Amino acid sequence: MPREKIAFLASRSGAAQAALAALQQRYEHVDPEAADVIVALGGDGFMLRTLHQFMDRGTPVYGMNRGSVGFLMNAYEEDGLPERIREASEEILHPLWMRATDENGESTEALAINEVAVTRDSAQAAKIRIIINGRVRMEELIADGVLIATPAGSTAYNLSASGPIVPIGSSILALTPIAAFRPRRWRGALLSNEARVELEVLEYDKRPVLAVADSTEVRHAVRVEIQESRKHRITLLFDPHHNLEERIINEQFTA
């Protein structure tokens, strides 16, 4: 795919806006709708918003870090940008599809690039039944919640909840409890990316939960269905010496 027509997008931060002005002055650019590649300037949060915005177009996204962590971003450098983009390696990601049904029977569908999380929305712990491929695998989890993470999202919320880091290309999803009370020592599970996960909320009238797919929130959810969406395809571009797979490996050896 050609990568000649570049569009620049930036978060509202001062650093990102300054980078946007500098790059637009230096390089020819087009509107995002006409671009072969989008250069996103900001942090991981802005990158996720950009990927969601242009997911259906299939336009590759090359990020440069003007935020804090920048796990999904390349280093910011103004020199040689077209060459860097042409030489970049591709990482293909498939998001999670979520359908959350609330206590009124209304359903909301959303996509998640990082994770789908179901968390308590009151002072009481959530009670959740876990069903995998139509079979009940855990009758009752008592916890602050549970999440399902993609490989790309395994270093985000999943990692902070003590979940495993999942290598890119492993065809695995991480199912991770959040502050589990019962079973106390349960650490979660690794699932095939073809798995269908259903989370049934028990005692939802007394223990309400919040279902979140990246930034889409559904309150008072009673049932949440999750599976990988193969019809959606996201292309991230990374400098060859520091691609996403290498970052995930490095993360596992960082104290």
Please list the active-site residues. 44
Instruction: State the DSSP H helix or E strand holding residue 177, giving kind and residue range, or none if neither.
Output: strand 172-182
Residues 71, 48: contact at Cβ < 8 Å? no
DSSP assignment letter at 240:
G
Residues 55, 232: contact at Cβ < 8 Å? yes
Other beta carbons within 10 angstroms of residue 174's beta carbon come to: 23
**In the chain, beta strands by DSSP E:** 6-10, 37-42, 61-65, 89-93, 96-102, 107-112, 115-120, 126-132, 135-149, 172-182, 189-192, 197-202, 209-213, 216-219, 221-228, 234-238
Which of 239, 249, 254 is closest to 65 using CA atoms?
239
Residues 209, 119: contact at Cβ < 8 Å? yes
